[in-house]
Structure 1
Amino acid sequence: MGLLDGLQNIVGDALSGKPVDLMAVAGQVFQNAGGLDGIVSQLNQAGLGEQVSSWIGTGSNLPISEDQIKTALSSETLRNLAQSFGVDMNQLPQILAEHLPKMVDTASPNGALPS
């Protein structure tokens, strides 16, 4: 099974309420958005620095809405991710809004981004 097949299964699991491998999803999201630094940069540029800081920090994760996802990530990024995951582009912001805070939190152990 290839990487994209695995990601499609992960997104399918997310849509059906099964446990999700956040690091696998994070890898694909970050790769398509210029790495972890790229997605953090896009979110910060969209005015979501407070949320991002909470995900990277060691405290509670602030939520992000579907509309904030749509504003922060380009249509091209969303379209590419939706195609990679095999989901409708309209479903992707909901999936990312639910899982992105946990993905960034998991990818930044001890409250710091990897170097």
Structure 2
Amino acid sequence: MSIFDGLGSVLSDVLAGRQVDYVAVATRIFDNAGGLQGIVSQLNSAGLGEQVASWIGTGHNLPVSAEQIEQALSSDQLRDLAAKFGVNTEDVAKLLAEHLPKAVDAATPAGTLP
């Protein structure tokens, strides 16, 4: 399972107008070994360490822009998600910018990486 399969679930729920259960989504996103570490590492490498630290911590989640998501993720990752849900890559980046912080936050309720 890709670390982005769970995010695909978020996108599916959002596109269908359903309420998103971030705890369940976070569990699916990061279920595979190294999933959470993988996404945290990828975002940190892209210069989003401050935002990621806020999502993991117990305080306020700092926002991330769609443009930052587009820079942090590979074009293949964005294209795969876009194709899976029948939207363009810009829309995927916008949805991830909105929902990825909540998913990471839900996966780290104690304020630390598991």
TM-score of the alignment, normalized to the shorter chain, above 0.5: yes
For residues 1-115 of structure 1, what are the structure 2 equivalents within 5 Å? 7=8, 10-15=10-15, 17-26=17-26, 30=30, 35-114=35-114
More helix by share: 1
Tell me the percent identity: 60
Query: May I ask how many residue pairs the two structures share in their alignment?
Result: 107
Contact 1:54 1:62 in 2 (8 A): yes
Structure 1 gap segments, 5+ residues each: none
TM-score in terms of structure 2 length: 0.77
Contact 1:51 1:64 in 2 (8 A): yes
Structure 2 gap segments, 5+ residues each: none
Change (3 A) 1:42 1:48: same
CA deviations 1:41-98 (Å, max 9, x no partner) are 1110011000000000000000000000000001011112223344332210010000
TM-score in terms of structure 1 length: 0.77
Q: Which amino acid aligns with 1:46?
A: A
The secondary structure found in structure 1 opposite 2:90 is coil
The secondary structure found in structure 2 opposite 1:64 is coil
Change (3 A) 1:29 1:89: farther
